[in-house]
């Protein structure tokens, strides 16, 4: 479960104040696969970072029941001078995983070839996202945070990513950000719509998509 209690988030962008969340009170049930919907710039990625704990709300609190991943595909936790494999070993120790099992899994899934042994700073943005996705999926969480990551790579990698994510969410929850409604429908059964700082939860994903599309049309 993810619980928002009186959560607000405001920051200054280009000299102007922007409110991403305004006094949000909401429970996302344990094990739910939720599509997080909202127009470009609504603050979906900021909200995901707050849920992950990498960004603090301006006011209020966000509580978790169970373990929550960092936003899958977010590469900010990797050290630029370490290789991909060395970064994976470090994270395995942090999360108490079997080091070599995680390295083997990520090396096979991310399909980085010889780049897996090269410094992370040499990676392209796509390679960074593939490494981050592989690490996230290799560690078992109660709730996964997914932010547009399944759009990375070629069609084959995208299909493998969706299949693996479906496997993980059979026994875990997820909060998914994607502009592809087809993917949202494949992965999610419920939805939450972020509009003008208000976050509204819907038990049915089709209802959430309809409200989101109505917002876009206005």
pLDDT digits (tens, 9 = 90+) for 84-141: 999 999 999 988 999 999 999 999 998 899 999 999 999 988 888 889 888 988 998 9
- Tell me which DSSP letter residue 29 carries: P
Residue 39 gets which letter from DSSP?
-
| Distance in Å from the first CA to the final CA of the chain | 32
Q: Is residue 186 part of a domain?
A: yes
Whether 145 is in a domain gets the answer no
Q: For the chain, how many structural domains are there in total? A: 1
Give me the sign of the Cα torsion angle 140, 143, 149, 151: positive
Q: Which domain holds residue 36?
A: 1-67+177-218
Q: CA-CA distance, 209 to 34, in Å (whole number)?
A: 11
111 within some domain: no
Alpha-carbon span 192 to 30, nearest angstrom: 14
- For every residue of 88-136, DSSP letters joined together read HHHHHHHTT--HHHHHHHHHHHH--GGGGGSBGGG--HHHHHHHHHHHH
Asked whether residue 197 is domain-assigned, the answer is yes
Q: Is residue 18, in this structure, part of any structural domain at all? A: yes
Q: What residues of the chain score a pLDDT lower than 70?
A: 73-76, 149-154
Is 213 a domain residue?
A: yes
- Cα 134 to Cα 63, 150, 208: the distances in Å are 26, 11, 29
Which CATH number characterizes residue 183's domain? 3.40.50.300
The alpha carbon of residue 191 and the mean position of all alpha carbons in its chain are separated, in whole angstroms, by 15
Q: Is residue 53 part of a domain?
A: yes
Q: What is the pLDDT of residue 90?
A: 94
The C-alpha torsion from 44 through 46 and 52 to 55, rounded to 10°, is: -170
Query: Distances in Å between the alpha carbon of 15 and those of 12, 42, 44, 129, 156?
Result: 6, 17, 21, 31, 43
The answer to whether residue 57 is domain-embedded is yes
């Amino acid at each position: 479960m993810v619980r928002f209690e009186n959560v607000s988030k405001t920051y200054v962008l280009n000299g102007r104040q922007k409110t991403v969340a305004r006094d949000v009170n909401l429970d996302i049930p344990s094990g739910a696969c939720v599509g997080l919907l909202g127009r470009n710039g609504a603050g979906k990625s900021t909200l995901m970072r707050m849920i992950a704990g990498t960004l603090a709300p301006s006011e209020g609190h966000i509580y978790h029941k169970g373990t929550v991943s960092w936003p899958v595909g977010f590469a900010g936790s990797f050290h630029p001078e370490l290789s991909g494999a060395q970064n994976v070993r470090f994270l395995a120790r942090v999360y108490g995983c079997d080091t070599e099992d995680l390295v083997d899994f990520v090396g096979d899934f991310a399909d980085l070839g010889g780049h897996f042994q090269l410094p992370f700073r040499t990676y392209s943005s796509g390679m960074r996202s593939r490494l981050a996705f592989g690490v996230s999926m290799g560690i078992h969480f109660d709730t996964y945070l997914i932010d547009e990551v399944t759009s990375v790579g070629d069609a084959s990698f995208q299909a493998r990513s969706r299949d693996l994510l479906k496997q993980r969410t059979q026994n875990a929850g997820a909060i998914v950000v994607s502009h592809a409604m087809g993917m949202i429908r494949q992965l999610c059964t419920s939805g939450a719509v972020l509009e003008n700082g208000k976050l509204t939860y819907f038990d049915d994903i089709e209802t959430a998509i309809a409200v989101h599309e109505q917002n876009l049309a206005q």
